[in-house]
Every structure is written in structure tokens, then in C-alpha cells.
Structure 1
Amino acid sequence: MSSLSTIVIGTGIIGIATAYYLAKNHGQTRITLIDRDQPMAFTSAQSGENYRNWWPHPAMVAFTNRSTDLMEEIARDSGNRINMNRRGYALATREKNIDELVGQLHDGLGDSAKNMLRYHSHRRSDTYVPFDSPDWEGMPDGVDIIQNQALIRDRFPGYDPEIQTIIQIRRGGDISGQQLGMYMLDYLKSVGVKRVVGEVRNITQQGGYQVKVANSSGSETLVADQVVNAAGPFADKIAKMLGVDLPVYNTFQQKIAFEDRRGAIPRTMPFSIDLDGQKIDWSDEERDMLLEDPDFAWLAGDMPGAIHCRPDGGDAGKWVKLGWAYNETPAKATWEQQLDSNFPDIVLRGATRLNPALKSYYGQLPRNMHHYGGWYTMTEENWPLIGRMGPERSFMNCAMSGFGTMAACAAGELCAATIAETELPDYASDFSLARYDNAQLMTTLRAANKGVL
């Protein structure tokens, strides 16, 4: 297989990781990467850059654990060029009864749950390991469940005092997704992998693949033995060129980042998610105005949970990121960002419920605030599609929803192993199109919450 030539369509982190592991693990270096823009310039540039191994299904737990293993390997080999830390995910709720959440943890962790779930109901807990250090090495795995409000106030002093429960996923944190991609690109360049800037307009088969690419100079046709569809929100468009209908759709999600000049968010705070639904903190006058406008009345009603916040830039940094993936409306992907000018105020006010100190920014977000967004490409069950795509020697690595950065290494490794026809991990079939023939699995997935974070 080492003599086969490959075209990878898409130079987001998923396409780059696919090429990286195809070259690194299998010696296939006759690779051409195609994208209409520079690497990591579109969806990957909008990543929240978080990672975790928290999922309500063992296949996703194994998948993201493997991806974290590979990221740790890169962090060690590169002197932590990717700025990996391990402050975890903190899931906060005002509920004391968390049986449903614990059930999801058991579903994901299986038999290991009894050893990996640690309960803390007392003010002092000898088994609770603080997260004061960002070092990803030496931090515990598993999950800490804290249900003592004094301990919560001590360890999470900025949170809403009404919080009753913290579920802290310990194998989680954040990385620099851009540096992860650049590390891989440096390797690919060293082994002779080529890049072509241009937009794929057509793909035909005739003893291989002919990929027509348009750019500012006109058009050219590239030829390869095999092709990989890693086109992110345009994966369905690329698939249709080969007569394949992928079961995917896109939603546009937004975030903001700003300089926290007032120190509202502690630099040691982990990636924090308010699980509870809410009504946004509008004044009575503002709420009445919203209710009078049919286009905005929804903002005065019940909003979903899962708003999230984290410090950005490490302990010495000053920026914070806020996100709220409440948009569930499918839309056709475009190259232009579909930004809502009201989003910064919406997400800020929503985030103050968990972090009340952020109220000091009402109407006063810094001028250098960055408002950005990207497409979440996903399947109905919110699992990725990795493997054979249909026509002989055509492959896919797509539908990463909001978890592309954290899954990139394992996704690239899996896709590369499929291309090279070598041994595959146990979860390989679950992430391929073959899962749609597994009625039991699909029933389980469709009954689960999709939860995009």
C-alpha cells in the first residue's frame, strides 16, 4: 500500500491528522492536501480547543481516551508545544439528585465506573486532588462528584452559591489546536507531502480519482489512487461528487473571547459548564421589549443549559472564552460566518448565572472582544463518520460536531489505519457507515441526549 497516492480534501485539523498518521504510521507519503484556504483557517480556527473523555457510551470514551493518549505523546515529544493542560471539566448544577447524570457516567465507563467515580460529601476530603497545577502529567483520571457546598465554595469560589453539585471530569482540559496542526504539518512537510490551494469542483473515477481544483490561476486536475473526504462542513458536498449521500447536517455555533481586565474569572478555573436551563438575566424592561418582538421573544423564555466558560491563555493570560451551542437549526454551510450581533450580550448574560462576577461587563465588553463562530457538522446521533465512504478507495473523516480538536488524533489514526488496511480498534465499526446496520446500537444512540459541547 505504501506506493499508493492519496488526495486529502480539507486541511482542517481532521484532514491534517489523517495525512499525519497515514505518513507516520504507514509510510504512505505520496499525499496531496487540498483546501481553498490556508490550513486550519476555517472551522478549526474557531475551535474551543477543549478535550475530555466524558461521554455516555463506552465507544466514545475509548475513542477520546485514545485521542488524549496521542495528544500526550505529542506533548511529550514536542516539549508541550501544544500547551496541553489538565484542569478538567467542571459540570455544575443546582440539583442534588443527579441519578441521571451518574447513570450516563456508568454507561460510558462501564465496569470501571466503581473505581473511577469518587464521591465527596464532606467539607474535608482526603481523596480530593486539587487542580491548582495545570500540569497534565500527574493529575488523576476518573470523576470527582462533589456535593458539599462548603467544599464547592472553597474549590470553586466564583460559582453561583446555589450550586449543589459539581461533577469534575479529571481527564480533560485544553490545548492549542493551532499548534497541534502546525506540529503535524511540519512533519508532513519534512516527508514531502504536498499542499494545493484551491476549491474542489468535481471528482471523477477512471482507474483512480481525478479531482478538478479551481484557484485564482484557473483550474487543474489532480490524479490519485485514493481520496479522503475531510471537508468539514462541506463533506456532504464532496460526497455527492462521488454519488454518496452522507447522513449529516450543519448548525452554526458562536463563541466570544475577551480580555478579562477585571479578573472576573479565576485563572485556575477549569472548563466550566452550567448544566441547568435558565431564563437569561434581562431587566424587566428588556424582557418586556423582547416579548413584544416575535423575532426575539424566544430570548425571554426558557433557554437550554450547557453554557460554558473557561480562562484562555494559561495562568499568565488574561482572556476568557464563553460559548453556548443553543442553535439547533440545520443550515447549508457557507464560507461566510453567520454571526448574530446580539450573541455577545446573550452569552455574557447567560454565563453570569454560574459566574456572577461577569455581570461587571454588562454593556461594557472590551472593544477588542472577539466574536466568532463555526459550523458543527454532525449526524443525528452526534457520532463521527470515519472509514470507507462508498466507491473503491474513497474514505471519509468527518461529522466531528463540536469535538473535532479533541478527537483529531484518534480520528486521523483510525482513518489512516482503514486506508492502510491494518488492524483497527474495537470502536472502528461504530464510527463507520456500518453502524446504521446495527439496529441495537442505533436505538441506544437515538435515545440518548445529543449534548454538543
Structure 2
Amino acid sequence: MSASGDHVEVAVIGAGNIGLAVAYYLVRKYGVSRIALIDPRDPMSLTSAQSGENYRNWWPHPVMTAYTDDSIRLMEEIARESGNRINMTRRGYALVTRRSDPADLVEDLYRGYAGQGERVIRIHDSGSPHAAYRPAVSAAWEDAPEGVDVLCDQELIRKTFPAYARDVATVLHIRRAGSISGQQLGQFMLEAVRSAGGWLIRGEVVGAERAGPFALSIASGDETVRLCAERVVNAAGPFLKDVARLLGEDLPVSCVYQQKVAFEDREGAVPRNLPFTIDLDGQELDWTDEERAILAEDPATARLTQFIAGGIHCRPDGAESGKWVKLGWAFNERAGDPHGPEPADDHFPDIVLRAACRLQPALRAYVGRLPRGAHHYGGYYTMTGENWPLIGPMATPGVFVAGALSGFGTMAACATGSICADWIMGGQPAPYARMLSLDRYRDPELMAELAGLQSRGVL
């Protein structure tokens, strides 16, 4: 790009999966070719690189269910078009509890699936024939059933999921759920944008002025260049607020750092055909008396001796023929600063492993002896208080936001890009699009409803 001032139709600030998806659907749905993606880093190298790469269509509210359903449909279109280059699988999500009658969880299911509940929710108890439940015999997304199977029969649970602890009493098997390669999805979209004439600018937006078109100042290397843009998209991930401030605006988001660990499962503790599994039950970690006393002495670690809410998750990682597994636990609720050093906790691998042993006892083989080469990493969940995204117009005319996708950025990228493209180009957005925009904060009835939900869907 020259310093003389190139001119584009849309400038997208941020080249993670969300920014790429916005650019992709501007190309695909509206034929926009003069698009600039602006980012000081390589595409998909920040938050997108730390994705769990999972997707599910269950949420405790029908708006979010419809939104992720649409995103999964769009991912399926890309899977078909690309010969499943994005490695889409569908073994489901298994939400696990030791409660034999989790009526509140079933209530959440019916609320999330709204009028579809009677059709898509199937209860399997001791009086149901086991043949009525169809396990995930294949990873192929085309073969999986819709809806949710609620397993309340411990004999059926042990037969289907023998790796789980014997005290598991209920499994909610979300069927339209699985995994994809987020990097391949982003690369597919980037290639389409470039083929249409769009390009990537390596630099940081440090100024924005409205004088007819927007004049963006971009710090790139040792120089600052200017780019004129008719419309601007704020898809800056953890830096959404920074971009908003350049325009004199603020956005109601915070950044919360969450961590994961992946390692080679040499003992075969986690079956390769296991769904993405979440232990919903909170717990106190199984420390020795000596370990507990040492942890309790330090204010920074004392909380680890107390009860911690549920949400520990585990899944096989990579190809079915591989050996790696991935563990995570989004228990941190403290907002952090994405500008500073990442607040990685050296204790986390041990913490998450001990917690996972409660659900999958065979993982105890790794307590205190994680395999060499284990990968401990993390990233920021950029989120609103209600854990819904922000997609649509900002206060400044011609500026749009696509962000605050918390821990669901990969699964919701396609729908986010499509909806944002509709807002930008004046198309017809989805019926629920207004509720995912900043406009929802002017709807006291909706906000009161969200505040009353017992779950925000944070996993």
C-alpha cells in the first residue's frame, strides 16, 4: 500500500477468524472486492490460534441457538464446497453430571430449543429400550442425528461411555456439535477474499477520522500510512475497545484470560471416539493434606483449595488415528488486560488434570507426570456481561462491530460474518440480528430476561 492514500469500500480491522468471515461474506454475498484486512500480526495468530475448535448448537436461549445453528449450516456449506478441508466432525457434546434428576438442565434444553423441544429432545431412562439411543458411531457430520439425547440410565451410560466415572448419573448428548479446524476455515476464507481482490495490510490502526470517507492512519514498520474507507468494521478481538476509543466510543466488553493444555495420551486414557465432554459439576480438587496446606498459605493459590464451579472439559485432539488430548476449564472470572504479558498460571496443567480425573479416572496416570512436550496455552475471552456477541452498527455512522464472541468465536464466525455483511450492505439480516447488536441494550425486557437466566452458556 502506498502512502498516497489508497481507497477501499470496506476496511476490516482485525484478521482473526471473525474479521476474515466478515470479509468473506462481503465477497460471497455482495460481490465486494475492494476490501482491506488490517492487522499488525499474521492472520489468525492471536485469539484464533488458541481456539478449542469446537462447535455446538445448544444454548440456554433460543436466539443463541438459532445463531449457532445458522453458523453450523454455513460451515457445512464450506465443508461440502471444499471437500471437508475444514475437517468437520460430529461426535457431539456430552454434558455430564452426577445428578440423577437435573430438571433445571432439561429446562434449559427446552428453553434453548424453544418450540422444537418436543421434537428434538429425547429422554432415555431405565424404562426406555437401549436401542432407541444411537451413539456416535462415526465422526462424519453428515451421519449424525439432530437434537439432544438425555441419558438417565446408568447402565446405558456405562455401556456407551465406559471411560466416564461410575457415579455419572446423567449425560446430555448434544448431537449437532463437534469439531473443525479453525485454521483451515480461516485460510479458506482468506484465499477467497484475496482471489476477489481484497488484501492484507500489516499494521496497527492508530487514528481514524471521518471526512467523507474514513481516513485511517496505520502504523506499519517505520512509517504511518493512510487508507480511505467508505465503511469500517471493528473486528479487533481483545482490542475492540481500543478501536472504539479511536472513534470516541466505548463498548461494554471485558477480556477474561482462559487456559488449556494438550498432551500426548500415551496411556490411551481418553477413547478416540469420545465426544467433547464437559463435567458440569463443581468440585474441590483432590490435594494431599500437605499440598492443601502449602496452597492455602499463598493468597494467590488459596482459592485452589476451595470449591470451584464446574465446566472442566476434555476431548481427543487431532485425527482419530492420533494420540493427543485437550483439557480446558474456563473457571477464571477476573477481567484482565490484553495489552500486557499473558497471565498464564504455571499451576494450571496440574489443576485441570486433577479436575478431569474425577470424570475420567484413567487420566490419573498423568498426575505429576505430564508427558514431555505437553502444550500449555491460553487466550482472552472477549465478552459482554450476558455472554452474547456484538454484531452490527456502532454509534458512528458507517462503522460496524463484529466481536465479543467469548469462547465461541470459531463456531460462530460464519454467522457473524454473514450478519455483519448484511448490516454493512443494507441487506436483510436474520430475524434475531437486532438482539445481537448494541440495540439490545435499549430493550429492558430482553436484558431483564438475560439477567434472569441461570446459565450464560460459558464453557
Following superposition of structure 1 onto structure 2, how do residues 316-331 of structure 1 map, counting pairs within 5 Å?
316-331=321-336
- Which residue of the partner structure matches residue 429 of structure 1? 434
Provide the rounded CA distance (Å) in 2 between the counterparts of 1:186 and 1:215: 23
* SS of 1:126 mapped into structure 2: helix
Aligned-residue CA RMSD in angstroms? 1.2
Greater shift, 127-136 or 212-221, is seen at 212-221
Greater shift, 251-260 or 285-294, is seen at 285-294
* SS of 2:142 mapped into structure 1: coil
1:371-399 Cα deviation digits (max 9, x unpaired): 11001000011000000011111000010
Provide the rounded CA distance (Å) in 2 between the counterparts of 1:53 and 1:291: 40
Greater shift, 328-337 or 399-408, is seen at 328-337
Provide the rounded CA distance (Å) in 2 between the counterparts of 1:71 and 1:202: 35
Distance 1:317 1:335, change over 3 A: farther
TM-score (structure 2 length as normaliser): 0.97
- Which residue of the partner structure matches residue 82 of structure 1? 86
Does the 8 Å contact 1:85/1:134 carry over to 2?
A: yes
Does the 8 Å contact 1:124/1:151 carry over to 2?
A: no
Residue 208 (structure 1) aligned to one of 196, 204, 213: 213
- Which residue of the partner structure matches residue 349 of structure 2? 344
Provide the rounded CA distance (Å) in 2 between the counterparts of 1:340 and 1:258: 17
Structure 2: runs of 5+ lacking an equivalent: 1-6
- Which residue of the partner structure matches residue 229 of structure 2? 224
- Which residue of the partner structure matches residue 173 of structure 1? 178
- Which residue of the partner structure matches residue 101 of structure 2? 97
Structure 1: runs of 5+ lacking an equivalent: none
- Which residue of the partner structure matches residue 129 of structure 1? 134
1:149-191 Cα deviation digits (max 9, x unpaired): 1110111111011000000000000000000000111111111
Provide the rounded CA distance (Å) in 2 between the counterparts of 1:67 and 1:194: 25
Provide the rounded CA distance (Å) in 1 between the counterparts of 2:9 and 2:302: 54
Shift of 1:125: 1.8
* SS of 2:110 mapped into structure 1: helix
Q: Give yes or no for the alignment of 1:242 onto 2:247.
A: yes
Q: Give yes or no for the alignment of 1:29 onto 2:27.
A: no
Does the 8 Å contact 2:317/2:326 carry over to 1?
A: yes
Provide the rounded CA distance (Å) in 2 between the counterparts of 1:295 and 1:247: 28
Counterpart amino acid of 1:9?
A: I
- Which residue of the partner structure matches residue 458 of structure 2? 452
Following superposition of structure 1 onto structure 2, how do residues 186-201 of structure 1 map, counting pairs within 5 Å?
186-201=191-206
- Which residue of the partner structure matches residue 156 of structure 1? 161
1:228-254 Cα deviation digits (max 9, x unpaired): 000000001101111111111110000
Residue 64 (structure 2) aligned to one of 60, 65, 71: 60
* SS of 1:321 mapped into structure 2: strand
Residue 388 (structure 2) aligned to one of 383, 387, 391: 383
Provide the rounded CA distance (Å) in 2 between the counterparts of 1:93 and 1:333: 34
Counterpart amino acid of 1:321?
A: K
Does the 8 Å contact 2:122/2:150 carry over to 1?
A: yes
Residue 261 (structure 1) aligned to one of 266, 269, 289: 266
* SS of 2:143 mapped into structure 1: coil
Greater shift, 106-115 or 80-89, is seen at 106-115
Provide the rounded CA distance (Å) in 2 between the counterparts of 1:109 and 1:373: 31
Provide the rounded CA distance (Å) in 2 between the counterparts of 1:15 and 1:21: 10
1:411-443 Cα deviation digits (max 9, x unpaired): 000000110101111111000111011111100
Residue 49 (structure 2) aligned to one of 40, 45, 51: 45
Provide the rounded CA distance (Å) in 1 between the counterparts of 2:321 and 2:259: 25
Shift of 1:22: 0.5
Q: Give yes or no for the alignment of 1:419 onto 2:424.
A: yes
Provide the rounded CA distance (Å) in 1 between the counterparts of 2:94 and 2:205: 41
Counterpart amino acid of 2:75?
A: M
Shift of 1:338: 2.1
Provide the rounded CA distance (Å) in 2 between the counterparts of 1:29 and 1:93: 50
Following superposition of structure 1 onto structure 2, how do residues 266-415 of structure 1 map, counting pairs within 5 Å?
266-334=271-339, 336-415=341-420
1:288-320 Cα deviation digits (max 9, x unpaired): 221222221110110110110000112111110
* SS of 1:201 mapped into structure 2: strand
Shift of 1:4: 6.5
Does the 8 Å contact 2:8/2:36 carry over to 1?
A: no
Shift of 1:124: 4.2
Does the 8 Å contact 1:4/1:28 carry over to 2?
A: no
Provide the rounded CA distance (Å) in 2 between the counterparts of 1:132 and 1:158: 16
Provide the rounded CA distance (Å) in 1 between the counterparts of 2:54 and 2:458: 12
Greater shift, 208-217 or 145-154, is seen at 208-217
- Which residue of the partner structure matches residue 4 of structure 2? none
Residue 20 (structure 2) aligned to one of 16, 31, 37: 16
- Which residue of the partner structure matches residue 110 of structure 2? 106
Provide the rounded CA distance (Å) in 1 between the counterparts of 2:261 and 2:300: 22
Does the 8 Å contact 1:203/1:209 carry over to 2?
A: yes
Counterpart amino acid of 1:193?
A: G
Distance 1:276 1:332, change over 3 A: same
Shift of 1:132: 2.0
Shift of 1:64: 0.3
TM-score (structure 1 length as normaliser): 0.98
Greater shift, 291-300 or 33-42, is seen at 291-300
Counterpart amino acid of 1:25?
A: K
Between the aligned residues of both structures, percent identity stands at 52
* SS of 1:302 mapped into structure 2: coil
Residue 7 (structure 1) aligned to one of 5, 11, 14: 11
Provide the rounded CA distance (Å) in 1 between the counterparts of 2:364 and 2:223: 52
1:328-361 Cα deviation digits (max 9, x unpaired): 0012212643211111111111111111111100
1:189-241 Cα deviation digits (max 9, x unpaired): 11110110011111111111111111223221111111000000000110111
